[in-house]
């Protein structure tokens, strides 16, 4: 009970101290608020950014490898070797699909370039034209706003059918029903059979098809030179079969492709096997650096706050020296005096920390409405902010509290 009474008195005295010297207290607690704002603000921003980016990257699939010309890594020193590599082609896709037992599903797509598509008087320029295999939508779990994907017969015969992205459909057709409409592209007529669901506004969206046009690979090779240098990108995508590890699948695919491309035992691979973990490791380092920057800035601000709060507590001890002497003369223990001033310091710092958290919450709420990016202040970060405030309060108040606890009652009452 005695400690509860000490706690109540300390909280009341801290509040009185805050109200009695408002300007001094405000300036002192400002350092704590800024420190918490810097540390927790950066952590919250990075958490929001990380969730957004990782959520986007997860769409690539953690059990999928991407056979590419270029690796998803730093190639600054070896770029000349990579640029000489051939693009993965449909033959690579077919051999993997035929021979790789560890592959549950394989798909192929080629990004042909930017094209213009017309419907009556409406024109969309710079739409990204993609020639895709039959498994493409299943591989990337593409949802349709309207319509459907190519049927096996349409794909096999290279029918003049197309699937358009949400923005392409919006700009071409407006309020007109797009399914079944005929559009013109590259001097040819195509029937629109599907509209892809809107991709959204993620900061990093590797599967953004809003501005894309999909035609079947068999149709694409009849209207474009897929071996030309103007082809932007090709990719063979392989998804692991149930119960198969990524390493097992990579080893098998590597062996099949090396044999298919007739590479000698000591020759380097002429292809790259990319996976999601390669990108994730890059972002791990990036987010780690951002967090470190926020913590360093916050620690400097916190140091100023510690000195300021310690100054308040030294002044408080000085002003209440006589009262401390009377309390000790009446039998108050040194530990009770120490605890009283320590709690007072902690309360002051927690008030500053809560002010910093409130500022973060307000800014995050406003930003989430202004920008197309969801930000949040997690419970873990709020708890961390309070814990840091308590620790700062202990550090700030321990020396003044010890000074008060060690006072001689007779000398103190003479002050």
How many angstroms separate the CA atoms of 376 and 360, rounded?
9
> Residues 50, 283: contact at Cβ < 8 Å?
yes
The packing angle between helices 2-20 and 276-319, to 10°, is 90
For the chain, give the percent of residues with pLDDT over 90: 35
52-107 pLDDT, tens digit per residue, is 777 777 766 778 899 998 888 766 667 777 888 888 999 999 999 999 999 999 99
93-141 pLDDT, tens digit per residue, is 999 999 999 999 999 999 988 999 999 889 999 899 999 999 999 998 8
Mean pLDDT for the chain overall: 84
134 vs 310, residue with greater confidence: 134
> Residues 369, 283: contact at Cβ < 8 Å?
no
- C-alpha angle with apex 105: 100 to 111, nearest 5 degrees? 105
Confidence of residue 4 (pLDDT cuts 50, 70, 90): confident
- Whether the pLDDT of residue 230 is over 60: the answer is no
Q: What is the DSSP code (8-state) at residue 102? A: T
- Whether the pLDDT of residue 203 is over 70: the answer is no
In this prediction, residues 214-242 reach a mean pLDDT of 83
381 vs 231, residue with greater confidence: 381
- Could you tell me which of 133, 154, 141, 157 has the C-alpha nearest to residue 214? 133
> Residues 183, 189: contact at Cβ < 8 Å?
yes
Taking residue 197's Cβ as centre, other Cβ atoms within 10 Å add up to: 14
Helix (H) or strand (E) holding 41: helix 22-57
Tokens matching residue 308: 């300021």
How much is the pLDDT for 93? 94
Confidence of residue 412 (pLDDT cuts 50, 70, 90): low
| Burial (0-12, 13-18, 19+ Cβ within 10 Å), 376 | middle
Question: Distances in Å between the alpha carbon of 22 and those of 18, 134, 316, 359?
Answer: 6, 71, 14, 19
245 vs 15, residue with greater confidence: 245
How many angstroms separate the CA atoms of 311 and 399, rounded?
10
What residues does each domain of the chain span?
Answer: 2-56+282-414, 86-270
Q: Which residues pair with 386 in a beta bridge?
A: none
How much is the pLDDT for 367? 86
DSSP sequence for 10-33: HHHHHHHHHHHTHHHHHHHHHHHH
How much is the pLDDT for 27? 73
How many angstroms separate the CA atoms of 98 and 161, rounded?
27
320 vs 163, residue with greater confidence: 163
Range with lowest mean pLDDT among 12-16, 202-206, 383-387: 202-206
177 vs 3, residue with greater confidence: 177
Beta strands per DSSP E along 42-121: 64-68, 103-119
Confidence of residue 194 (pLDDT cuts 50, 70, 90): very high
> Residues 348, 14: contact at Cβ < 8 Å?
yes
In this prediction, residues 323-327 reach a mean pLDDT of 77
- Whether the pLDDT of residue 345 is over 90: the answer is no
229 vs 174, residue with greater confidence: 174
How much is the pLDDT for 8? 75
How much is the pLDDT for 292? 85
Tokens matching residue 323: 């009262």
Burial 282-313 (b: 16+ CB within 10 A, else e): eeeeebeebbeebeebbeebbeebbebbbebb
The packing angle between helices 276-319 and 22-57, to 10°, is 170
How much is the pLDDT for 327? 76
Range with lowest mean pLDDT among 13-22, 158-167, 381-390: 13-22
* Pairing mode of beta strands 188-196, 272-275: unpaired
- C-alpha angle with apex 77: 75 to 80, nearest 5 degrees? 80
Confidence of residue 261 (pLDDT cuts 50, 70, 90): very high
For the chain, give the percent of residues with pLDDT over 70: 91
In this prediction, residues 243-248 reach a mean pLDDT of 91
The reported pTM is 0.70
């Amino acid at each position: 009970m005695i400690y509860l009474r000490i706690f109540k008195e300390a909280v009341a005295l801290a509040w009185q101290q805050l109200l009695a010297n408002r300007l001094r207290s405000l300036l002192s607690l400002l350092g704590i608020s800024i420190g918490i704002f810097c540390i927790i603000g950066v952590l919250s921003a990075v958490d929001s950014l990380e969730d957004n980016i990782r959520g986007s990257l997860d769409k690539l699939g953690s059990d999928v490898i991407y056979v590419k010309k270029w690796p998803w890594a730093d190639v600054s020193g070896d770029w000349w070797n990579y640029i000489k590599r051939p693009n993965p082609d449909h033959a690579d896709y077919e051999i993997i699909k035929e021979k790789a037992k560890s592959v549950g599903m394989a798909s192929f797509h080629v990004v042909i370039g930017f094209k213009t598509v017309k419907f009556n008087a409406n024109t969309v320029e710079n739409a990204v034209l993609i020639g895709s295999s039959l498994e493409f939508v299943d591989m990337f779990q593409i949802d349709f706003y309207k319509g459907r994907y190519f049927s096996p017969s349409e794909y096999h015969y290279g029918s003049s059918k197309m699937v358009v992205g949400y923005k392409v459909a919006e700009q071409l057709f407006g309020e007109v029903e797009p399914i079944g409409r005929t559009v013109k592209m590259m001097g040819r007529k195509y029937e629109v059979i599907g509209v892809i669901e809107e991709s959204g506004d993620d900061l990093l969206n590797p599967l953004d098809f809003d501005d894309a046009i999909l035609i079947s690979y068999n149709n694409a090779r009849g209207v474009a030179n897929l071996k030309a240098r103007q082809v932007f990108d090709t990719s063979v995508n392989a998804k692991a079969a149930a119960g198969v590890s990524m390493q097992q699948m990579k080893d098998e695919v590597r062996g099949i492709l090396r044999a298919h491309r007739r590479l000698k035992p000591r020759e380097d691979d002429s292809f790259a096997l990319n996976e999601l973990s390669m990108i994730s490791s890059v972002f791990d380092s990036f987010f780690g650096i951002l967090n470190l920057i926020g913590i360093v800035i916050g620690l400097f601000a916190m140091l100023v706050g510690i000195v300021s709060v310690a100054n308040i507590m030294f002044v408080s001890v000085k002003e209440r020296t006589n009262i401390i002497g009377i309390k000790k003369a009446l039998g108050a223990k040194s530990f009770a005096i120490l605890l009283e001033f320590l709690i007072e310091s902690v309360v002051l710092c927690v008030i500053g920390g809560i002010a910093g958290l409130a500022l973060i919450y307000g800014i995050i709420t406003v930003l989430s409405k202004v920008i197309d990016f969801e930000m949040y202040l997690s419970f873990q970060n709020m708890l961390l902010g309070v814990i840091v405030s308590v620790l700062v309060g202990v550090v700030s108040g321990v020396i003044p509290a010890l000074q008060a606890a060690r006072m001689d009652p007779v000398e103190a009452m003479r002050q």
